[in-house]
Amino acid sequence: MDFYEVANTPTGHSIWRMAYGIEYSGGLAGKTQDTEFQILDPGGYGSIDSAGAFVGRLDGFEGGFMFESEGVQNADGSFVMNFDIVPGTGHGGLTGLAGRGQVVATREHCRPEDTPDTCETLVSYTLAYSLPRA
């Protein structure tokens, strides 16, 4: 993961740019490449905007698509991101794909003294989609 501070204000708010990949399993199985921007206050709360590309399988159909998302982050690193599949970007077995979903990262199972280095963030997703079949 590449994480760069782009700007910082006198009030302590900052803008960060991240580049990373995520591996998904379940009905959506594959990998993404993501670019993300975060605007955070001094306590670590803020907004997240990202875009990326997925390649893999969706309920047995192999292909890929592009997505864009927005969300909010808490100081402990937990977040909720809502994403949309960009219309017209589905390819392979996912040609014509449309949909939207949500990614949720939680740290509720962690102890108060834990940090992101000592307790893993758990990530889950939901995806509602339509896929035309000939």
Per-residue pLDDT tens digits for 82-117: 999 999 999 999 999 999 999 998 888 888 887 767
What is the distance between the alpha carbons of residues 39 and 120, in angstroms, rounded to a whole number?
A: 23
Per-residue pLDDT tens digits for 32-78: 999 999 999 999 899 999 999 999 999 999 999 999 999 999 888 88
**DSSP E strands, 1-121:** 2-8, 14-24, 28-40, 46-58, 61-73, 79-85, 91-92, 98-106
pTM flag (> 0.85): no
pLDDT for the residue 48:
94
pLDDT for the residue 5:
85
Query: If you average pLDDT over residues 11-36, what whole number do you get?
Result: 92
Q: Is the pLDDT of residue 133 over 60?
A: yes
